[in-house]
Amino acid sequence: IETRNNKLEMQSVNNKSLIEELDRLLERLRVPSEYAACLTGGSFDEARMLQNVEACEWLTGALRGLEVPNLDPIYANMRAVREKRAELEKLKTTFVRRASEFLRNYFASLVDFMISDKSYFSQRGQLKRPDHADLRYKCRTYARLLQHLKSLDKKCLGTLRKAYCSSLNLLLRREAREFANELRASTKASRNPSVWLEGSSGSGHSGHSDTSPVSDAYAKMLTIFIPLLVDESSFFAHFMCFEVPTLVPPGNVPNGNRSDDDTNDDDLGIMDIDENDSKADKNSADLATLNEALQELLNGIQEDFYAVVDWAYKIDPLRCISMHGITERYLSGQKADAAGFVRLLLGDLESRISMQFGRFVDEACHQIERNERNVRQMGVLSYIPRFATLATRMEQYIQGQSRDLVDQAYTKFVSIMFVTLEKIAQTDPKYADIFLLENYAAFQNSLYDLANVVPTLAKFYHQASEAYEQACTRHISMIIYYQFERLFQFARKIEDLMYTITPEEIPFQLGLSKMDLRKMLKSSLSGVDKSIAAMYKKLQKNLTSEELLPSLWDKCKKEFLDKYDSFAQLVAKVYPNETIPSVAEMRDLLASM
């Protein structure tokens, strides 16, 4: 009896604990009816979001509860557990499908609603800054749901992200298009001539109007849209559960003109559900996916930026300089990990501006080269003073980083100007030196002030200065030899013989006797004042820039005295007893004229 009692007692204890264990298991397998109803057919209205989120949390927990570390491995293969797991999976699939479909339609309807409201966009006479606060507020209602969808089925996010991108892309492009159109229509600026250095177009260059509204309009486009695009990228990354570092710390938008009401745009008021599995390699994969998605979100908007650049270029090509500086400033303001698309957009804009400016520079260079084809030219070429006007204008437009762009243009312009100058000079060798010295002098005079502050122009200023000196020396020597040919030819013969025989023997050479010296002196120096006056006349004759005459005449007198001095020294060595007019006499004579 004792033994049987003990057995019964043990059986009863075992049955009791078996029932408890089965109750616990059944509790795990029970699907509360309110959750089942919510997951399979509940509505996704804003008011019902709390129940939806609770049902999701329960489902996630229940699924985890039926996985091995949380469930005793002995039960894992029980039929009831397998069936229940299949039932939960089915619930999950149904819910994910329904929620995804709802959200896809929701994003599309939100954007359609905004697009159909004309007053939301810029219109004639009214620029409208895009405002996405309401849109984001509505999206935020479903942020928590998205987090749960991600933990339930990561694959469903792909289609949701695509749907969000294509809907929002329509909105952003429409905003940019309307804004850019109105910006151009409302900017008053008259078109500036794009011909700056053409030879034939007379001197009608006084009519340069102020075109600063054009670059202001471009700056406005960037001020409004770049922070907006950065914000959109950041919101998208956070809202669509990408595990990447925050794109821009909230409230710290580059060059931010951020209004107070959207300082918290990126903070969705939610905690990341899987906070502990954001590993570095996963991050970089996510970052790549994010940048692809951002491409879909924002692609096409660049066309409206390009349109503003091209429009500004048509009104005043030089405005490319200011626009380049503005773009550069935004680029340096972007963080390296900031929205990839925005950096690419700014980079493309900068290339576009440089390309347009390059077109202007090339065209201006062709204008310079066309001067070659004109008939024989005298005096200062028209493009030299015009280049100074152009350079002064370009300097006014420089902002920040556009210095390099302008310096490259100067280098191209001046190189072509100098080459063309030398080519034109060659067409008439007789007057080449006068032509060169006048033009190089004009180049220095017109750029004197700028060369003091712009190192690149200073370099070309010195180059022109050297070329001027060389042309002067050649021209003056030619005039002196023309007037006193016999005198200096006699000196040259003596110099040549000095290399081979002693000075004492020279007077016995053919054509170099004392008699020959006297004859030559008589013909060259009788009426020397007339010869010097003739030299002055010849110097004056072909010069169109009168203001250069005094300095050229001083150079000419100095050169003549130097040459005469070396002649006097030769005579003293070779013909010690002969007297010739002294250097001092010549100097006095020149000074008195």
Residue 85 domain-assigned (yes or no)? no
Q: Which of 505 and 310 is assigned the larger pLDDT?
A: 310
Q: Are 145 and 56 in contact (CB under 8 A)?
A: yes
pLDDT in tens, 201-214: 444 444 567 788 88
Q: The tokens of 45 are what?
A: 């209205």
Is residue 12 over pLDDT 80? yes
Interval 441-452 mean pLDDT: 92
More confident site: 327 or 252: 327
- Give the domain range for residue 430: 389-400+420-592
- On whether the CB atoms of residues 284 and 330 are closer than 8 A, the answer is no
Question: How many CB atoms within 10 Å of residue 355?
Answer: 12
Does residue 217 form part of some domain?
A: no
Domain annotation covers residue 185: no
Provide, for the chain, the percentages of residues in helix, strand and coil under a 3-state DSSP scheme, each rounded to the nearest 5: 75, 0, 25
CA pair distance 341, 237, nearest whole angstrom: 13
Q: Which phi-psi region, left, alpha or beta, contains residue 398 (left: φ > 0; alpha: ψ -120 to 50)?
A: beta
Q: Is 42 left (phi over 0), alpha (psi -120 to 50) or beta?
A: beta
Rounded average pLDDT over 568-593: 85
369 in a structural domain = no
Residue 548 domain flag: yes
Q: Which are the contacts of 163, defined by CB distance < 8 A and separation ≥ 6?
A: 103, 104, 107, 108
Percentage with pLDDT > 70 across the chain: 86
N residues, the chain = 593
Report the percent of the chain where pLDDT is more than 90: 26
- Is residue 420 within 8 Å of 371, Cβ to Cβ? yes
For 123, the 3-state DSSP assignment is strand
**pLDDT number for residue 78:** 80
**Is the residue at 38 inside a domain?**
no
- The predicted-structure confidence for 470-514, as pLDDT tens digits, reads as follows 999 999 999 898 888 888 888 898 888 888 888 788 888 888 888
Question: Total structural domains in the chain?
Answer: 1
Dihedral over Cα of 63, 64, 69, 70: its sign: negative
Q: Single out the residue of 395, 400, 229 nearest to residue 326, CA to CA.
A: 400
Name which of 33, 156, 165 is nearest 99 in CA terms.
156
Average confidence (pLDDT) over 76-95: 82
* H or E segment to which residue 369 belongs: helix 340-369
State how far the Cα of 141 lies from the Cα of 50, in Å rounded to an integer. 10
d(CA 574, CA 517): 11
Q: What tokens does 49 get? A: 């979001």
In a domain, 531, yes or no: yes
Do residues 96 and 153 lie in contact, with contact meaning Cβ atoms separated by under 8 Å?
yes
Q: Is the pTM of this model over 0.75?
A: yes
Q: Among candidates 228, 256, 233, which has minimal Cα distance to 245?
A: 233
Query: Is position 583 within any domain?
Result: yes
| Lowest model confidence (mean pLDDT) among 82-86, 424-428, 437-441 | 82-86
d(CA 412, CA 456): 11
Report the pLDDT averaged over residues 293-318: 90
- Two tokens, residue 365: 């260079």
- Identity of residue 107: F
Phi-psi group of 183: left, alpha or beta (phi > 0 → left; psi -120 to 50 → alpha; rest → beta): alpha
